[in-house]
A and B are shown apart, each in its own frame.
Chain A
């Protein structure tokens, strides 16, 4: 938003209004935790985007003569059982892992936000049904359900996204619903109803923006969840299929050689840890900034 010049009531000093974004970014950069997270995430993002340029080898370039080599100057992270360069595979893997994390979170948040808004605002039977569905889903370990579903649909990247999107929305729906219940009792919603506003418009104009801060936090915190879950499914062979590099899949490749060639699993694992940690740190700091009343 462009800066807007405003006048005080007294008409004396014009004030600058810089929009809500700039102070937020400033606060994020001033905090050590979030600064670390942002730098890490930007680096990984850059790696993912520039994988073609940085990677010394193609991710699927096999060299059976140099299999299971320990890290060296030629192969920074060593090589795997097929003689592929682990460094290059990890770089390319960042693409798939980030893509999966963000895409799954996006779709699952769409489901969760929609259901949360509807069940919170409408109440009654609709609310009851949504709540029961959530309770039932919540009763099972997500990963077990995901395994079953993925096995049923067949292992592929599309199915992985589908399965996890259908399973990870519950926190979104819960948080949004709870918030809507509070907001819809606020006086400005009463006014909007007294104006005779169409409910769909009312939800998008008056309720949704007031839930947005919680959604942002939850979104950031769900990305690592989605990444870990998809890595877990890929590790079990039900997600991304070889030879496409994905961190979970690479870790899985190294499993038989954990004691003889630990570098195959260790490096993608380290990256996964780092990225997941960064998202979590960022989410924590965002919670503090956006919902300052939550206990610290």
Chain B
């Protein structure tokens, strides 16, 4: 059996800031297999974007990184800048949020979409442009031959995100990371873009690491869900298990805050998770979720729960699920 495409082992990313050390990611382990679609969900500030940037090697200067990010048997954190650059955009690629400001206003669409081909395949401008046109056609940009001569401001938000997706998947990356790719867009556009992303990933047989706060999007696109809270993974399960038999109170809270058709019809109020994510300079002792957890006990306040596999492929970090502690379900 082959090993996973990407395996993140005990990743820790701390930001040195003037007010203290922010433990944005604090000991994260997970794997992404070949062709698999994995989703990281969590609130803002849970460290999900930091994980993505760490994989890309695009963390800001003040970040301290520990642990291993093993891609195809090589630790990305140990590669030189040049080696990393040859992997970025070719093997591992990333789509960011906010498509509206993500294209350079001074360059035409064609020039920008040609860049991966010129950089990695060393194609001439002409060849690269031709490939870019083909790629734009694939993402359904209308009349790509003339669109390549247009400037980004003439493109709508949806078209810009399509263009960016085309740009970042143009070299058929083995792993595509998408960081909230739909959050700045209209809901009506999201569906189309999700389909597009899904098709591209399938056609290129790429793995997808989707980062989102929207469990609905996760359910639509992914096979497996990783739930992060305050820099740690609290639960990991395949998508069905996560929705039907989630074990961590935080995951359950996230699910309850999803508006569903049923809830709309019965006009029941949405339940919300009370409180705010903790300060990552001084994270709470014990389980990081305990100040917001309705079931918190003394153990939770004192000791940190480890991520434990409770059934095949389903891991959770919660004292309530480890037996020995009475209390609510």
Contacts and interface: CB of A to CB of B under 8 A. Distances in A.
A205 interface: yes
Interface in A31-45: none
Interface string B226-265: 0000000000000000000000000000000000000000
B36 interface: no
Given A190-B58, A209-B106, A195 B116 contact: yes
B87 interface: yes
B116 A187 contact: no
Interface string B162-204: 0010011000000000000000000000000000000000000
B207 interface: no
Contacts of A205: 104, 107, 115
B116 to A, nearest CB: 5
A255 interface: no
A191 interface: yes
Contacts of B96: 187, 190-191, 194
Interface stretch (B143-151, B210-218, B292-300, B308-316): B143-151
A186 interface: yes
Nearest to B164: A191
A123 B61 contact: yes
Interface stretch (A4-12, A47-55, A112-120, A234-242): A4-12
Nearest to A210: B106
Contacts, number: 75
Interface string A191-218: 1111111100100011001100000000
Contact of B115 (A124, A190, A197): A197
Given A6-B150, A7-B143, A187-B101, A194 B93 contact: yes
A196 B58 contact: no
Contacts of B106: 209-210
B86 interface: yes
A188 interface: yes
A196 B85 contact: yes
A188 B88 contact: no
B85 A191 contact: no
Interface in B42-90: 56, 58, 61, 84-90
B143 A191 contact: no
Contacts of B150: 6
Nearest to A207: B104
Nearest to A183: B104
Chain A at the B interface: mostly helix, strand, loop or mixed?
helix
A196 B164 contact: no
B94 interface: yes
A191 B142 CA distance: 23
A201 B119 contact: yes
Contacts of B115: 192, 195, 197, 205
Assign chain A's interface to a size class.
20 to 34
B103 interface: yes
Contacts of A186: 101
A193 B58 contact: yes
Contact of B85 (A6, A123, A187, A198): A198
A194 B87 contact: no
B98 interface: yes
A196 B116 CA distance: 8
Most chain A CB within 10 A, of B84, B119, B142, is at B119
A147 B88 CA distance: 52
Contact of A196 (B107, B120, B142, B149): B120
B88 A196 contact: yes
Contacts of B116: 195-196
Nearest to A187: B102
B207 to A, nearest CB: 16
A193 B167 CA distance: 13
A196 B122 CA distance: 13
B90 A191 contact: no
A250 B124 CA distance: 55
A9 B150 CA distance: 11
A210 B104 CA distance: 9
A206 B146 CA distance: 22
A188 B115 CA distance: 12
Contacts of A206: 104, 107
B175 to A, nearest CB: 12
A196 B87 CA distance: 7
A187 to B, nearest CB: 4
Nearest to B143: A7
Contact of A194 (B61, B94, B107, B120): B94
Contacts of B120: 196
Contacts of B84: 196
Interface string B18-61: 00000000000000000000000000000000000000101001
A194 B168 contact: yes
A192 B89 CA distance: 9
Given A196-B120, A197-B89, 4 more contacts: A123-B61, A187-B102, A188-B112, A195-B119
Interface of A: 4, 6-7, 9, 123-124, 186-188, 190-198, 201, 205-206, 209-210
Nearest 6 pairs between A and B by C-beta?
A: A196-B88, A196-B89, A195-B89, A187-B102, A188-B104, A196-B85
10 contacts: A123-B61, A188-B112, A191-B102, A191-B167, A191-B168, A192-B104, A193-B88, A196-B88, A196-B89, A209-B104
